[in-house]
Amino acid sequence: MPDYLLTTSPQMAKRHARHSRFQWYGRIAIGISISFMLLMFAAIFARGTGAFQKTMIAVDVEFTESVIDPNGSRAEMDLKQGNYKPLILSGLQKVVPGVTERKDRNNLYKLVSGGAAFDLGERVAANPDMIGTNQRVWIAASSEVDLYVKGKVDVESDEAIRRLKDQDIAWINMLQDEGRVKKKFNRVFFTSGDSRAPEMAGILSAALGSFFSLLVCFLIAFPLGILTAVYLEEYAKKNRLTNLIEVNINNLAAVPSIVFGLLGLAVFLNFFNLPRSTPLVGGMVLALMTLPTIIIASRSILRSIPQSTRDAAMGLGASKTQTTFHHVVPLAMPGMLTGTILGMARALGETAPLLMIGMVAFIVDIPKGVTDVATSLPVQIFLWADSPEKGFVELTSAAIIVLLVFLILMNLFAVYLRRRLERRW
């Protein structure tokens, strides 16, 4: 054997070095991306997980009939609108003695959420037998108290610049000593709509808004996208017109989403007079936005189906339509569904087009259908991130977690479909 094959020449060493160097570049690149991702997740989770719990205060409430329902009508609306504030206040005063002055009473009442009285009203309306009894009820603490109990208030700082004063903290400690303060699972966050008070705000209306929008988006974009792709790929002749259409579709996929919002405003709202701020219009705009993505993905899937499949079907006497719908489309369907789901996942994260059609709004009521006004998850995140109250910092991150969970679920579903149904040739 010649010598030069056994000894490593300097050239050889160089090549090996280049090889391993390149591998290291790749690993470093992956490492950097992963660490950024972990950093993002860590930041969001560190801030957001607190919001899944909220502070509740136990108050012994005397449900006095003369205060709640002076007429004795027991009508639902009267019970809901009864004056519950003095009842809660006197319950608190029993635990914190010596609070008599008006200003102090107001401060004491601020320990509980501004929505607590409405909440009690709903409980009483649901169960009128409570009237006349004395019960210990857990009511939501105000956002400031919540932040304090979670250790997010710097008690060492100057009292003048703190929203929670020393006296308030002393009262909370008094309540805590009696075991009247505890953190509970934040059910409101998952069961209610937006609110200006962080402790009363929830994600449900936004999540449902997103759901209805995506439903409309899917129902429009999926059939249209698939039919367009199948026609263009399997039936249409290659000529100037189809070339033009193809170029346009590719261009549309790259158009910024706000443009679709403007289009929606001009066409759906101003021309067709569809109702503003509704998931119906939102879904239609999002459908316009995802259509090009679906068409492009579906066409590339159809193109990847081997010609032999078509030839074999044709050879056995199938018609063009039979070939397409019995063989080509079923084989391409998993890929097309995957493309659709990925397109919809992008639509789930959009705010810009929704801005133009009025879905960026303060909406408390839970939408029940596609024509009820609604916002969407990313819009809710945007609105909360812009709110001055400190409690919303936590909620913003919690809403991001919810959005991420939805995105991950959708992407996992796409992966599952691909794994489960994909065929290799």
> Which residues contact other proteins (rule: CB under 8 A)?
77, 81, 106, 114-115, 118, 154, 157, 160-163, 195-197, 215-216, 218-220, 222-223, 226, 269, 273-277, 280, 329-331, 333-334, 336-337, 358, 360-365, 369-371, 373, 383, 385-390, 421, 423
Residue closer to other proteins (CB basis): 100 or 157: 157
Beta-bridged to residue 185, according to DSSP, are 53
Provide the minimum distance between the beta carbon of 285 and other proteins in the complex, in angstroms, as a whole number. Answer: 15
Cα–Cα distance, 183 to 52 (Å, whole number): 10
The residue among 95 and 226 lying less far from other proteins, judged by its C-beta, is: 226
Choice between 59 and 337, CB closer to other proteins:
337
Decide whether 52 or 118 has the Cβ nearer to other proteins.
Answer: 118
User: Is there a contact between 199 and 192 (Cβ–Cβ < 8 Å)?
Assistant: no
Please, what is the minimum distance in Å from the beta carbon of residue 156 to other proteins?
Answer: 11
**What are the φ and ψ backbone dihedral angles of 60, each rounded to 5 degrees?**
-85, 110
> Please, are residues 414 and 337 in contact by the beta-carbon 8 Å criterion?
yes
Closest approach, Cβ 343 to other proteins, in A, equals 15
* CA 270 – CA 221 distance, rounded (Å): 22
**What sign does the dihedral 328-333-336-340 (CA atoms) show?**
positive
For residue 26, what are its two tokens? 């790749």
By beta-carbon proximity to other proteins, the closer residue of 95 and 331 is: 331
Closest approach of other proteins to the CB of residue 146, in Å: 15
Complex with other proteins: residue 115 or 180, whichever CB lies closer: 115
**By C-beta, is 58 or 421 nearer to other proteins?**
421
Asked if residue 55 lies in contact with residue 183, where contact means CB atoms within 8 angstroms, the answer is yes
| CB of residue 84 to other proteins, shortest distance in Å | 11
- Laid out side by side, the sheet with 134-140 consists of 134-140, 53-62, 181-185
Find all residues with CB under 8 Å of 325, minimum gap 6, and list them: none
Whose structure tokens read 């391993």? 20
| β 53-62/181-185 pair status | antiparallel
Extract the tokens encoding 202.
């929830």
Q: How far is the CB of 370 from other proteins (least distance, A)?
A: 5
- Token readout for 187 is 């059910």
Residue 5 in 3-state DSSP? helix
CB of 127 to other proteins, least distance (A): 19
